Amino acid sequence: MADMMGLMGKMKDLQSRMKEAQDQLVHITETAESGGGMVKATVDGKRKLLSLDIDRDLINADDKEMLQDLIVAAVNKANENIESKIQQHLQKVTDGVLPNIPGLDLGGFMK
């Protein structure tokens, strides 16, 4: 019975820490670029696009498709790169509450 109470206490602690971790994800950011730096996208840990910087030379009606492709590439790259920062953040928050289980992905808790 004491083991069950201890487990429930750990689960409550984990829930509290995960809520705190979710709230802090807005402070984690990642910027990525495409087109040799002509398009830059910044996302936060909740995968929200925060800013998009487009070099003035790219803004041309004739190159609309290229510009769209560069924007998509920069945003996707920033979202891919932020994943490792999210995982590091979650590991810090859950340190001592959960055992270190190889392959355990807590990213699903953040979506």
pLDDT at 111 over 60: no
Q: What is the pLDDT of residue 110?
A: 46
Q: Does an H or E element contain 69, and which?
A: helix 64-94
3-state secondary structure of 36: coil
- Taking the C-alpha atoms of residue 11 and residue 60, their distance in angstroms, rounded to an integer, is 54
Contact in structure between 75 and 23 (CB atoms under 8 Å): no
Supply the mean pLDDT for the chain.
83
Q: Which residues share a beta bridge with 49? A: 43
pTM recorded for the entire structure: 0.71
Residue 62 — very low, low, confident or very high, per pLDDT cuts 50/70/90?
Answer: confident
More confident residue, 4 or 58: 58
* Helices 64-94 and 2-24: angle between axes, nearest 10 degrees: 150
Which backbone phi and psi does 24 adopt, to 5 degrees? Answer: -80, -15
State pLDDT tens for residues 73-97.
999 999 999 999 998 888 887 776 6
